[in-house]
Amino acid sequence: MSATASCANGIHLLSIMAANNEVGTLDPIEKIAVIAQSYQVSFLCDASQAVVEIPI
């Protein structure tokens, strides 16, 4: 489910991983944060795996 669809469904917390340590995908955390903010949904990002890949 997309971040927009999740937020529109009335969730209270959107939690994502910035980088997946198994397959290596990187999520656009800044864009997802904007979506969460526009729906007034709390946003949690686990960036522990991304620190070596992208500037945090």
Rounded to 5 degrees, φ, ψ at 24 are 85, 10
Question: Does pLDDT of 11 surpass 80?
Answer: yes
More confident residue, 21 or 12: 12
Banded model confidence at residue 51, pLDDT cuts 50, 70, 90:
confident
User: Which three-class secondary structure string do you get for 7-56?
Assistant: HHCCCCEEEEECECCCCCCECCHHHHHHHHHHCCCEEEEECCCCCCCCCC
- Average pLDDT on 48-55 reads 79
DSSP 1: -
- Average pLDDT on 2-26 reads 87
Q: What is the pLDDT of residue 35?
A: 93
